[in-house]
C-alpha cells in the first residue's frame, strides 16, 4: 500500500520542518512541502496529496483561499488549517469553508497527528503503510516486536474496528478488562472507546488507577496502552485531601466571623466609618470563601470520574447560568444578554463541570467589567462543534499576558492588587474544556474588553 501523501504549507521554513519531521515522517507519512499558497496549489494539482496542512496567514494566497481553491477541484480533500491567532472569526471561517480541523499555534504534535489520522480515515485515503525505517538499527522481525509488547511493564491491548479485543499482552490479561470473546468489560475503557477519546483514566475494581493512551490504526482498530499510575494518584489524592481539609476547617471560623458581623449590625446604629469597616470585613470574608470554593472545586475536578458524564443540552445550560448571574450584573448596571439557539445538538459531558466552566467565564466577565458596561453570551453550532462566546466591555488583557492566562495561579498584570481570588478559575476552566476534548481561546484589547470562545465537540453516534 502506498504511503499517504501530506502537503505541508507554511511561509516559515521552521514550521514546515516541525510538522514534517516531528509529526508526519516519524509516523510513516510521505511529505510534500510548499512555502506559499500559489506553490501549494500547483503541487496539489500535480502530485494529488491525500491531505493538506496549511498555515492560514501567508503572503499572497492565504490558507483559506487555498482551501477553497483545492475544494473546487477535489471537494473531499481534507485540509487542516493552522494559525498563530486564536480568533473566533477565523475559526468560524475555517469551519464554514470546510476545513477538516483547526489548530492554534503552539499546538500539540500528538493532537495534530490524531487529527491527520481521523481526517484520512474519513476521506478513505491511504494511511501510513509502515513505520519509518532506521538504517542504523537492526531489522525488527514480527517475532521481536511481539516479544517486546509481551514483556512490557505496561498493559497493551489491540482492538479491531468494532472495539473488540483481539490481542493483549500478559499484563493486560491479568487486569481482566475483556471477556474471553474479546468484549470490553471495563466500564471506564468502554466509555473511552465509545467517546472516541485518545486518552483517559481507568479505575480498576481493586482501586488501582491506569492512565490510558489509545492510538487509531489505519484499519479502524486501535491500540490501547495502559500505565499504572496508582502511586502518583495516591500522592495527588493526599495533597488534594490535605488542601480540602484545610478549606473545610477554615469555613467554621469564617462563619463565626460573619455571625459576629451580623450582630454588630443589629446592635445599634452605626456611624459611617463603622459601617464602612463592617463592609470591608464582610468583603474580606467573602473573598476568603471564594478562595476556599476554588480549592474545593479543584479537589472535585481531580477526583472526578467519567461515569458521571451524560447528554447535555448546552443551550439550556447556558441560559440557566446567565439567569443565575442577572442579579450580579444588575447590581453594576451591566447589560447582560444571551443569544443561545434552542436547536443546538447535544454534547456528551459532565453537567456540573460544564456549568462551573460557564459560570466562571460569565462571572469573570461581570467582575472585570466596570459599571454600566455590557456582557454578552452567544451560543451556536458550527460544523461538528458548538461554540460558546462570552464577550465583555471590561478592562481587557495585554497581549503579553494572554499566552499565560490559563496557567495555574497566573493573574494578568492589569488586575494585580485590584481583584481578589486564588487565581485558579481560568486554570480550572481550561482543565474542564480539555477534559471534554474542546478548545478555548481569548481575544482581548486592554481597556476595550475581552472575548472568550469555548469550542466543544457535538455528541456523535458511535461508528
In the chain, CATH 3.30.565.10 covers 306-457
Counting beta carbons within 10 angstroms of the beta carbon of residue 136, is it exposed (0 to 12), middle (13 to 18) or buried (19 or more)? exposed
In CATH, what number does 142-228 get? 3.30.450.20
Residues 206 and 204: their CA atoms lie apart, in Å, by: 5
Which CATH class for the 5-123 domain?
A: alpha beta
What's the rounded Cα separation, in Å, for the pair 232 and 212? 14
The model's pTM is 0.47
> At a CB cut-off of 8 Å and minimum separation 6, what does 138 contact?
none
User: From residue 368, how far is each of 361, 421, 437 by CA, in Å?
Assistant: 11, 13, 28
Minimal CA–CA distance to 199: which of 213, 184, 217, 215?
A: 213
Q: What is the pLDDT of residues 430-457, one digit of tens each?
A: 888 988 888 999 998 888 999 999 999 9
CATH topology of domain 235-302: Helix Hairpins (1.10.287)
CATH 3.40.50.2300: which residues of the chain?
Answer: 5-123
DSSP 366-404: HHTS-TT-EEEEEEEEETTEEEEEEEE-SS---TTTGGG
Cβ-proximal residues to 243 (8 Å cutoff; 6+ apart), any chain: 295, 298, 299
Q: What is the pLDDT, as a whole number, of residue 132?
A: 47
At residue 153, the pLDDT reads 86
Query: What is the CATH topology of the domain spanning 306-457?
Result: Heat Shock Protein 90 (3.30.565)
Comparing C-alpha atoms, which of 336, 333, 316, 319 is closest to residue 392? 336
- φ, ψ for residue 95 (rounded to 5)? -70, -40
Locate CATH 3.30.450.20 in the chain. Answer: 142-228
Asked whether 88 and 43 are in contact (CB, 8 A), the reply is: no
pLDDT in tens, the chain (463 residues): 467 899 999 988 888 888 888 889 888 899 999 999 999 999 999 999 999 999 888 888 888 889 988 988 888 899 999 887 655 567 777 777 788 888 887 777 888 898 899 888 887 765 554 444 444 445 567 777 788 888 888 999 999 989 999 999 999 999 999 998 999 999 999 988 887 777 888 989 888 889 999 988 877 888 999 999 888 777 766 766 676 677 667 777 878 888 888 888 788 888 888 888 888 888 777 767 766 766 666 666 655 544 467 899 999 999 999 999 999 999 999 999 999 877 889 999 888 889 889 998 999 999 999 999 999 999 999 888 999 999 999 998 888 788 788 876 676 665 544 555 545 678 888 888 988 888 999 998 888 999 999 999 988 655 4
Residue 439 cell numbers, joined: 478548545
Amino acid at each position: 500500500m502506498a504511503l499517504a501523501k501530506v502537503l505541508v504549507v507554511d511561509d516559515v521554513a521552521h514550521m514546515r520542518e516541525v510538522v514534517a519531521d516531528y509529526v508526519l515522517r516519524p509516523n510513516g507519512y510521505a511529505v510534500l512541502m510548499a512555502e506559499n499558497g500559489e506553490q501549494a496549489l500547483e503541487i496539489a494539482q500535480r502530485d494529488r496529496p491525500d491531505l493538506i496542512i496549511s498555515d492560514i496567514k501567508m503572503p499572497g494566497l492565504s490558507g483559506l483561499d487555498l482551501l477553497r481553491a483545492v475544494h473546487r477541484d477535489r471537494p473531499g480533500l481534507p485540509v487542516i488549517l493552522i494559525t498563530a491567532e486564536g480568533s473566533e472569526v477565523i475559526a468560524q471561517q475555517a469551519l464554514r469553508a470546510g476545513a477538516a480541523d483547526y489548530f492554534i499555534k503552539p499546538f500539540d504534535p500528538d493532537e495534530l497527528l490524531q487529527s491527520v489520522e481521523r481526517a484520512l480515515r474519513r476521506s478513505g485515503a491511504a494511511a501510513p503503510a509502515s513505520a519509518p525505517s532506521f538504517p542504523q538499527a537492526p531489522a525488527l522481525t514480527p517475532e521481536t516486536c511481539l516479544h517486546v509488547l509481551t514483556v512490557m511493564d505496561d498493559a497493551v491491548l489491540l482492538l479491531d474496528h468494532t472495539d473488540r479485543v483481539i490481542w493483549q499482552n500478559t499484563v493486560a490479561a491479568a487486569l481482566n478488562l475483556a471477556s474471553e470473546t474479546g468484549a470490553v468489560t471495563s466500564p471506564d475503557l468502554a466509555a473511552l472507546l465509545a467517546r472516541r477519546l485518545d486518552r483517559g483514566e481507568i479505575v480498576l475494581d481493586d482501586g488501582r488507577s491506569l492512565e490510558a493512551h489509545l492510538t487509531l490504526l489505519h484499519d479502524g482498530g486501535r491500540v490501547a496502552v495502559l500505565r499504572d499510575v496508582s502511586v502518583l494518584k495516591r500522592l495527588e489524592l493526599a495533597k488534594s485531601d490535605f488542601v480540602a481539609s484545610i478549606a473545610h476547617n477554615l469555613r467554621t471560623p469564617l462563619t463565626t466571623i460573619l455571625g459576629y458581623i451580623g450582630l454588630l449590625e443589629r446592635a445599634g446604629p452605626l456611624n459611617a466609618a463603622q459601617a464602612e469597616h463592617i463592609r470591608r470585613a464582610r468583603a474580606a470574608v467573602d473573598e476568603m470563601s471564594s478562595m476556599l470554593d476554588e480549592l474545593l472545586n479543584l479537589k472535585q475536578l481531580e477526583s472526578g470520574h467519567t461515569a458521571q458524564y451524560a447528554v447535555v443540552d448546552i443551550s439550556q445550560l447556558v441560559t440557566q447560568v446567565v439567569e443565575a448571574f442577572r442579579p450580579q450584573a444588575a447590581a453594576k448596571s451591566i447589560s447582560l444578554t444571551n443569544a443561545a439557539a434552542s436547536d443546538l445538538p447535544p454534547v456528551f459531558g459532565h453537567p456540573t463541570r460544564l456549568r462551573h466552566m460557564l459560570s466562571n467565564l460569565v462571572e469573570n466577565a461581570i467582575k472585570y467589567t466596570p459599571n454600566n458596561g455590557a456582557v454578552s453570551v452567544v451560543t451556536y453550532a458550527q460544523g461538528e462543534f458548538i461554540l460558546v462566546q462570552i464577550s465583555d466591555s471590561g478592562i481587557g488583557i495585554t497581549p503579553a499576558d494572554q499566552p499565560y492566562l490559563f496557567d495555574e495561579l497566573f493573574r494578568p498584570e492589569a488586575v494585580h492588587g485590584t481583584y481578589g481570588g486564588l487565581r485558579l478559575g481560568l486554570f480550572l476552566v481550561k482543565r474542564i474544556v480539555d477534559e471534554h476534548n474542546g478548545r478555548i481561546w481569548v481575544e482581548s484589547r486592554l481597556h476595550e474588553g475581552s472575548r472568550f470562545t469555548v469550542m466543544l465537540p457535538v455528541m456523535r453516534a458511535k461508528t
